[in-house]
A and B are shown apart, each in its own frame.
Chain A
């Protein structure tokens, strides 16, 4: 609703009367005042939007009144009434902020034009104020929202367990959260705006950032990787790192690096490794002690019999006892050799040899034990295999292990009347390797046993096995660049296969 109040100030009562009539007929609510002082008092009391005042008045004149009112309310619309031709006063009044002036004698249409303009200005001012208010309000909301978001992100960054380090486009560090303090050992105050990323990051990461900044391209890698950081105290801190350049449109505006502290994880891992190692050592020592105890039993038994032989001058006893001692010395030698082979790095000793001859040699060695226990030893050698360059000692040991295991599998078979047999087969494979296959129809293995075959000191033979044979075999096969396969079925038997690649014969190489 438009405020139609108007303060009318003139020392001439007649003019007030005439103008009041005229203004009232235009719908105005006139507040009359007969002097500058009264006008000011009434203005302060009513605060009407429009003031119409004569300039020439005794006491406080119209200009003074104008100044006072404008002082009180810069938005007030003050129209001055000037004497005819008194342009100086009119200009003076406009300088002091009058909205308009009308000359005396006041004509109705001049008055209503001036009033109309005053109203329009008021309306514009109102609108402007409304817009300004709206704008300010919206600006406030937006500011609040931005503040809230930045607060949220601040909290996010601060409460992150990971270290977060952000730089501006010049590499100057601008964000350094408590996680970063924890890892790097510097306080936020020491770093923010004081250090650049290359003061802090390990060289390999710093270089990536530098080249990223230079090429204005993102850094390679992208994913997480493990690096070592040297912190303020010179300590090495293992971390997982991931970093990226920050873009706005197409230009780089900074970088951010994320670091996860791996100290605790590394410590736990180390502890786990240590305790596993200790457990393994404990188990190893226990099994080894058990096996050595068995050998010791043999040695003690041997010396007991030798002593009796000496006492009674009985050469038979002497021979029996002495052979026991010798046999057990042999067992110790094998054990020590197995342990050494198992624990030492060994290069295969490639020599020209006939693999079939080695297989035959192994069969001959085991023949007696097989025959004694009614086990048939079958040979199936591939005649295509001639002289090849391989490690003959490794082949011999592995094959001997396979065959003696196969014979044991038949011996310890729970079935009582089976026609046991062990088959030793050689086969040229792919013209680059020799396959040695040893299969038996003995007791076979359960999956549980199969799963533990290559575990150190695992043995199903009680005190009679070291639990090293297959482990050593596997090691020799791997060192020879070959592979080892096992298939087995409980009650049906097992098949062990090793495939060993061969080299060109030395003799051949020499020719070329």
Chain B
């Protein structure tokens, strides 16, 4: 059975692109346009993988990633961060939240800085969900 993969991004271009890559590689794409909607969908659908943007309206990818890692049921779902923001910046933001008293979280399973080639993204997905 085809696996569900959730992409969370507010940029329609990225959504269309990732959706096509997923379809071409035989996965079922699911879409959320911000962190809040993304988190709700993860809880409901339990996808095999989440492809997550960082800068989004409403809840950002930084917050959504933490929420997933705190949640027992979600913490083992692999997350690929796909963002225009440098990995360095993402990790620093996570550290800052930890310093403010939140629980520390592990680094994301993979981090891809935009732009990404379709083959590269497909290979990365295959690595985590087969």
Contacts and interface: CB of A to CB of B under 8 A. Distances in A.
A462 B58 contact: no
A297 B85 contact: no
B102 interface: no
The number of chain A residues touching the other chain, given as a range, is 20 to 34
Interface in B73-99: 84-85
Interface stretch (A59-67, A220-228, A300-308): A300-308
A462 B55 contact: yes
Interface string B1-41: 00000000001111011001100100000000000100000
B11 A305 contact: no
A225 B36 CA distance: 64
B115 interface: yes
B57 interface: yes
Contacts of A411: 57-58
Interface residues of B, number: 20
B84 A308 contact: no
Interface stretch (A11-19, A160-168, A209-217, A320-328): A320-328
Given A296-B115, A412-B57, A464-B55, A301 B16 contact: yes
A416 interface: yes
A463 B36 contact: no
B55 A300 contact: no
A171 interface: no
Could you say which of A293, A296, A301, A462 has the most chain B C-beta atoms within 10 Å of its C-beta? A301
B43 interface: no
Contacts, number: 64
Nearest to B56: A412
A327 B118 CA distance: 20
Contacts of B58: 411, 413, 416
B55 A416 contact: no
Nearest to A325: B13
B59 A416 contact: yes
Interface string A479-504: 00000000000000000000000000
Contacts of B54: 462
A298 B114 CA distance: 10
A376 interface: no
B114 A297 contact: yes
A308 B20 contact: yes
Nearest to B63: A414
Contacts of A412: 57
B111 to A, nearest CB: 15
Nearest to A411: B57
Contacts of B13: 297-298, 301-302, 324, 327-328
A298 B14 CA distance: 7
Interface string B45-72: 0000000001101110000000000000
Contacts of A321: 16, 20
- Ranked 6 nearest A-B pairs via Cβ: A301-B17, A411-B57, A297-B115, A463-B84, A298-B13, A462-B55
Interface of A: 290, 293-294, 296-298, 300-302, 304-305, 308, 317, 320-321, 324, 327-328, 373, 408, 411-413, 416, 461-464
